[in-house]
Every structure is written in C-alpha cells, then in structure tokens.
Amino acid sequence: MKGSFNKKESMQKAEKFIREAAGNGAEIISLPEMWNCPYSNDYFRKYAEKESGETVEFLSSIASDLGIYLIGGSIPEIDGEDVFNTSFSFDRKGNIIGKHRKVHLFDIDVKGGIRFMESDTLTAGHDMTVIDTEYCKIGVAICYDVRFPEWFRKMALSGAKVIILPAAFNLTTGPAHWDITMRARALDNQVYFAANSPARDEAGPYQAYGGSCIVDPWGRFISHADERECIIYGDVDIETVESVRQQLPLLKHRREELY
C-alpha cells in the first residue's frame, strides 16, 4: 500500500487489504514498514503512538475479528522520550505475540543517491523477535535489519522457518540490492522469506522501491510485486523447509569453532 499523510485513510486502506487477503484464505498477513506514517524523520515523532494507542488497538481487533495472524508492518512507537520503529504481531485472538523494535537503524549516505539518518529521530531496539504459531516459529525484523546476516542466522538457529520483513528500500539501493538480499537471507537460512514494501508514491517524502516478495527456502521467488499497490500471496510448506535442510545441510555443516 502507498503511504499517506492521513492516518485514518491509511488505516481504512490497510483494513480493506487485510480483509481482502483473509477473504482469499490468507492465514498470516503482513503490512509494510511505516504504513501509517510518512517515512521521514519530520514525521516519526508526530505520528508516534504508545503501545496502548489506536493503531495497535485497530490491528488487534482486525486480527481477532478475522481469526488470522497479523504482522502489523511497522509504526512509530513512542515509549517515554524514545521513538522506535516497531512491528507488533498478533495471534488469531488479537493478542500481541511479538514486538520488534528495529535493531539496525537506517543511517546511510550514498554519494549521488540517498542520505537517510534514522538515528536523528529514532532509537534502536535490542531484541530478536521470533513468534510461535501452530505452523512453525516465525522471525520478524524490519528493513535495514536485513543487511546483517548474523541476525537472521540467529533467528534460524532459534527455530524460525519463516521470516517476515516489513521494509521500504529506496530508488538508490532497491534496484541494486533488494532482490538479491531477500533471496540471500532465504537461501542462507533455508527459510521462507517474505518482504513487504509500501507501494511507490511519487508525491510522498520517500520513494519506496516496492517489489514485495516471497522467497522459498531454495531461494526462488514464489511471488513478486512491482512498485504498485497490491496483495501478494504465497503458500508455505514446512516440509519443503525440512527437505531442503536435509538435502543441503547448511545449518548442520557450520564450523562455529572456526568463525
């Protein structure tokens, strides 16, 4: 979905997409990074809400109404003086079962391209997020976190077989790194990997690359969006994870003592 300056409008749009996805049989649904706030340091604090705020309440009630797992993309969360880029996850009853505060802040300065310093306004989280479902464990991280393979290996070693990444790459790094990074994280951890981006909004303060995708544990795209608004779907087969891990036992062949 495209971002908007109007939070109510974003919530209405998110609800429409979530209901449509659930109506088509989706059991685990995820929104993109900062879906209810313009992606800009000028707006994070203004749009930030406490965990007890209206957006978390809204996501929880949709999850319980539809009986789905909902990975609530990410939103700016305020806690005391600090603002975090936070992803709340909900079970089928609307309970919060995961709260991931983006651990690696997006501070980059690419010559002739993008400069963005999330740390000007945001505070980094410290904890890894792996949630339990009746299907398998699911890891949740946010966008720039994906640049740090160790973080994802840690999730896989903690039992994650699916990893979900609300994200918003840009027009400098997106064309260069989006596809290959998502495939690499799926492949090196032998997990299903789903990355959800906002749609591109030429009029907005940040041009998201788009390209939401789902990659299987063999590193193949099973679904891939372009830069426009849409829902993508994928079937997750846990036996495929087991089978790939058995045939190509990467996780077992690690030589940790040498690293």
Contact 91, 64 (CB under 8 A): no
Name the one range near ligand LYUYDEPV by CB under 6 A: 6-14, 155-163, 164-172, 246-254: 164-172
Interactions with ligand LYUYDEPV, residue window 13-42 (CB under 6 A): 33
The correct pick among 168, 191, 236, 244 for binding ligand LYUYDEPV (CB under 6 A) is: 168
How far apart CA 40 and CA 34 sit, in angstroms, is 10
Contact 241, 161 (CB under 8 A): yes
Minimum CB distance to ligand LYUYDEPV, residue 164 (Å) = 15
The correct pick among 170, 189, 197, 212 for binding ligand LYUYDEPV (CB under 6 A) is: 170
Q: Is 143 in the site for ligand LYUYDEPV (CB under 6 A)?
A: yes
Name the one range near ligand LYUYDEPV by CB under 6 A: 62-70, 143-151, 158-166, 241-249: 143-151
How far apart CA 80 and CA 49 sit, in angstroms, is 11
Nearest CA to 232 out of 9, 11, 31 is that of 31
The correct pick among 144, 152, 192, 193 for binding ligand LYUYDEPV (CB under 6 A) is: 144
Q: Is 33 a catalytic residue?
A: yes
Name the one range near ligand LYUYDEPV by CB under 6 A: 24-32, 169-177, 210-218, 238-246: 169-177
Minimum CB distance to ligand LYUYDEPV, residue 214 (Å) = 19
Nearest CA to 21 out of 69, 61, 60 is that of 69
DSSP code, position 207: -
Bridge partner list, 130: 139
Residue placing its CB nearer to ligand LYUYDEPV in the complex, 153 or 177: 177
The correct pick among 121, 173, 197, 207 for binding ligand LYUYDEPV (CB under 6 A) is: 173
Q: Is 102 a catalytic residue?
A: yes
How far apart CA 105 and CA 124 sit, in angstroms, is 6
Nearest CA to 213 out of 174, 243, 161, 247 is that of 174
Q: Is 197 in the site for ligand LYUYDEPV (CB under 6 A)?
A: no
Tokens encoding 164: 């979900």
How far apart CA 247 and CA 5 sit, in angstroms, is 49
Q: Is 161 a catalytic residue?
A: no
Q: Please give the positions annotated as active site.
A: 33, 102, 143
